Amino acid sequence: KAVLGREFGLPVTHITQTMCTAAFPGSVCRALRLGNGAIGTVLEIAASTGRGSPVYYQTLYIPPNRRRLVVSDTYNQKNALPQKTELLSAMK
C-alpha cells in the first residue's frame, strides 16, 4: 500500500486478500520443485483506489511448511512467532 502510493502516486484505499488450499498448477509445481498436483495455500491479493479502480493483483503459491503466515496490515514480530509449545505439537 505504501509502496504503490509512494512510487506511483496511487492512493490505495482498499485491499482484499483471499486464501484457500488447492492443488497447484503444473507450472507452479515445476517452479517450486514440487511433485505434480502438490497441494498448498493460494493467497490472492488485490488493491484498489478510492474510486474502486483496481491497481494491483498478485497470486502467491505457498507450499506446505511449518511456518506461521502473518496476514495483517501491521507486523509485530513478537506476535508472529509461534510459541515453543506450538512448534513442539506441530512436529508430532
Give 40-55 pLDDT, tens digit per residue.
Answer: 999 999 988 877 788 8
* Whole-model pTM over 0.85: no
**Look-up: residue for cell 508430532?**
92
CA atoms of 77 and 88, how far apart (whole Å): 20
Nearest Cα residue to 37 out of 49, 26, 53, 51: 26
Burial of 7: CB neighbours in 10 Å, binned 0-12, 13-18, 19+: exposed
Over the chain (92 residues), the average pLDDT of each successive run of 10 is: 77 87 96 95 90 87 89 61 49 47
Q: Quick check: helix, strand or coil at residue 46?
A: strand
